[in-house]
Structure 1
Amino acid sequence: MAEERARSTIVVVTWRGAEHVEACLDALARQRAHRLLVVDNASDDGTDELLARHPSAPEVLRLPRNLGYAGGLASAFPRVRTRYFGWLNDDTRPGPEWLATLEDALDRAPGAGAAACRMWSREGPVSHGVRLTGTGHGADTLAEGEVFGFCGGAALLRTSALSAIGGVPAEYFCYYEDTDTSWRLRLAGYDIVPTTASCAHSHGASSEPGSKPFHRWNERNRLLTLLRCAPPEIALREVSRFGAITLALPWRRLLRRKVPRAANFRVALRLRVLGELAARLVPTLRQRRRITRGRAVNRRRVWRGWAGN
């Protein structure tokens, strides 16, 4: 049986993915032997029927409500018993050697917690991994060589390493679960290795980049990640900067100063982010202490080594 030889469990998280998840499953059918688990985030567009009749006969975990990408991965993680844990968006199409390349990379690097792959779209290359900016943003990079982290749309993680650092941040819903996990892996002393594994991605098929929810999750989760992982002065600086900009925006409009039109410069959205940050502050600081207890590398060392590079 293929699953008996499997060293990886590939988890595909889908939500209303009837138009694209089949192409993802078809591409996975051409990979090295693996266990396939699809998390269905309470889709209501016929995705469940499509999964039931697909030739690959995937194991399906159907959730009672939409928990997002991060929540879906976190729900699946307790079911992962293989050495490696694959994260995969439902709108991706891995290349034929995708899994083999990622597994081989982790086999060669026992100190690595994750392997990143190369993402591309119809317009060309999108990401070779994630870099860390000087403001604590996780951003896609096309640089060759070392990367700070992996792009969560398609990656392979060492299951034991992810377990050691506390798993997937389910409360993020979506966005920044990859940057946060990469950061925690580095604090725990693990590497993230770049690879030549290739994966096509129809970016934004399950969400709308530039929308209000997109900006809300990005802004909130960046600040939560900083509070969990960054040196204290960096976390305080960026949270204070976000609050100061929020307070300044009404005055800038009153004085008819130029204000960006993007949704993340709307005061109501920013106040909601600050409210959610305040509501999560106590549990986030508890998480920070747990991360500190399991830390093998100083926070400032990680920051100096990667931020802005």
Structure 2
Amino acid sequence: MTERKQTGTTAAGPGGGAAGPGGGAAAEPLATIVIVNWNGAHLLPACLDGIAKQDAGFAFQTWVVDNASADGSRELLAERYPWVRVVPSDRNLGFAGGNNLALRQVTTPYAVLVNNDAVPEPSWLAALLAPFGEPGGQHLGAATGKVVFLPRFLRMRLSTPTFVPGPHDSRELGVRVSSVTVDGREALREVLWEKLTYGAEGPAKAPYFWTRGDGELCVPIPDGGPVTLGFTWAAESRKQVVLSWDGPTGSTDGGRAELAVGPESTTVTLTVGGEAPRVDVVNNVGGIVLTDGYGADRGYQQVDTGQFDQPEDVFTACGNGMAIRSSLGHELGWFDDAFFLYYEDTDLSWRIRARGYTIRYVPGAVLRHIHSASSVEWSPLFVFHTDRNRLLMLTKDATAALALSAVLRYPATTASIALRTLRQAWRGRSRPAIRPTLLRLRVCGSYLRLLPTMLRARREIGRTAAERRSSLQSWLVSR
């Protein structure tokens, strides 16, 4: 069990010296916290220091699965966190396999999962496990908390005239942003602007974002004091860009800047006063699955204004900050090792619900998370696993109609993308960009290789299910 100094006690451990529910100081641990780590020595201290500060009121233990790190993670754990049990792996098993390496050894009533790039608030663990002991808690299979992005943000709005690039690209584009700085520090990858841009484009080492004509962005800024923001951008012609932001709480006056943009890439700067409000932005408050089979984070990139402050049942739990009844996890076999990373938590949640258990969102269980600190969103690694694993999940868990629709649509879409790419290259007398098509073909090949295993899993899920697939799909959400 873990050890730390507690105010007013001697040599008590984090979770180790507190009395359990109805027990004494030597109570058996109620939960095992599992953290998967791969080359995350720079992330672990904040995560583990947050766990050491948990005000739980019951005993718990902390395990770190090290996925063959080569950055000194194990040395760091041995030197600074001797109260953590290290579960070593001689190869990178991913999020699914790494967690399973520990979860299959768990004997405590509850298992709790945390990403190595997340920092829990002091009341997180107690709040997360509380619903299991409340009336009706015997029907609860898992609980999931409120995950917000680690920094605080300045909420801004961008507005500019748009243009349509051409017959093969009907998007209405505003400006092309290639850099955002905060007090001189590059922050392009940390800006939250799903409501404003069309997603990352260009090479992985030098991405850029095309904006729409109007939308919201959230820029990470430090607390207190004025901040200088820099934007490097270009557009199809000379025009104005209006950036605006909220004023102090209770004030109707905010900030506003009119800035020029043109065909040549230029950098503009503006200063935001220290009184500008900093806000928290939601990463996940439980998960949803859309009617076309795509998983999504509920509340993603919404400014947290208290709209998710009530506990409620949700369809899926987030693997970052998820608590599960251990007996149920062992029955289900925990995560599917074949998934490696992404969609493994959605698949497990679907199987929990198929057994007739519920999943509860707990707003008081707050984690602060560095988004995509371990894997870059929209990288080939990300796209391969999200595309393939969505098809694997639907093959296992969804109705035959939904699964077949998604699986058959994928190669058809791949062929359409390949033909469009060839036509564009022929018209432009250029070499076709074949990497996206090759990646999708890899997805098809990997899916077909795993299909027999998924069909066996589908039959087993159906044999042990307490709720029909068609009934579970009533939770699916339209776009």
Correspondence for 2:418 among 222, 232, 250 = 250
Partner of 2:346 in structure 1?
A: 179
- Output the CA distance in 1 between the equivalents of 2:319 and 2:81: 26
- Output the CA distance in 2 between the equivalents of 1:78 and 1:254: 48
- Output the CA distance in 2 between the equivalents of 1:286 and 1:140: 29
Q: What pairs up with 1:1-309 in 2 under 5 angstroms?
A: 2=16, 4-31=27-54, 32=56, 33-55=59-81, 57-108=83-134, 109-121=137-149, 122=151, 123=153, 124-142=281-299, 144=308, 145-196=312-363, 197-256=365-424, 266-308=436-478
Higher helix share: 1
> Which secondary structure state, in structure 1, belongs to the residue aligned with residue 104 of structure 2?
helix
Coordinate RMSD, CA, aligned = 1.9
Counterpart contact for 1:20–1:91, Cα < 8 Å? yes
Which is further off, 5-14 or 248-257?
248-257
Higher Cα Rg, which structure:
2
Counterpart contact for 1:6–1:35, Cα < 8 Å? yes
> Which secondary structure state, in structure 1, belongs to the residue aligned with residue 144 of structure 2?
strand
Cα-to-partner distance string for 1:183-228 (whole Å, 9 max, x where unaligned): 1111110100010110001111111111000010101111000000
What is the count of residue pairs matched by the alignment? 304
Higher strand share: 2
> Which secondary structure state, in structure 2, belongs to the residue aligned with residue 126 of structure 1?
strand
Counterpart contact for 1:70–1:174, Cα < 8 Å? yes
- Output the CA distance in 2 between the equivalents of 1:264 and 1:62: 39
- Output the CA distance in 1 between the equivalents of 2:95 and 2:423: 41
Counterpart contact for 1:136–1:307, Cα < 8 Å? no
Q: Which amino acid aligns with 2:39?
A: R
- With over 3 angstroms needed to count, the CA separation of the structure-2 counterparts of 1:307 and 1:163, relative to structure 1, is farther
Structure 1, unaligned stretches of length 5 or more? 258-262
- Output the CA distance in 2 between the equivalents of 1:133 and 1:22: 36
Structure 2, unaligned stretches of length 5 or more? 2-15, 18-26, 154-280, 300-306, 426-432
- Output the CA distance in 2 between the equivalents of 1:100 and 1:18: 27
- Output the CA distance in 1 between the equivalents of 2:81 and 2:327: 31
Q: Which amino acid aligns with 1:221?
A: N
- With over 3 angstroms needed to count, the CA separation of the structure-2 counterparts of 1:271 and 1:139, relative to structure 1, is same
- Output the CA distance in 2 between the equivalents of 1:54 and 1:155: 26
Partner of 1:260 in structure 2?
A: none
Cα deviation, residue 56, structure 1? 5.2
- Output the CA distance in 2 between the equivalents of 1:293 and 1:87: 28
Counterpart contact for 1:129–1:140, Cα < 8 Å? yes
- Output the CA distance in 1 between the equivalents of 2:474 and 2:407: 19
Aligned-pair identity (%): 38
Cα deviation, residue 256, structure 1? 2.9
Cα-to-partner distance string for 1:143-191 (whole Å, 9 max, x where unaligned): 7443211111111111112222232111111111110011111111010
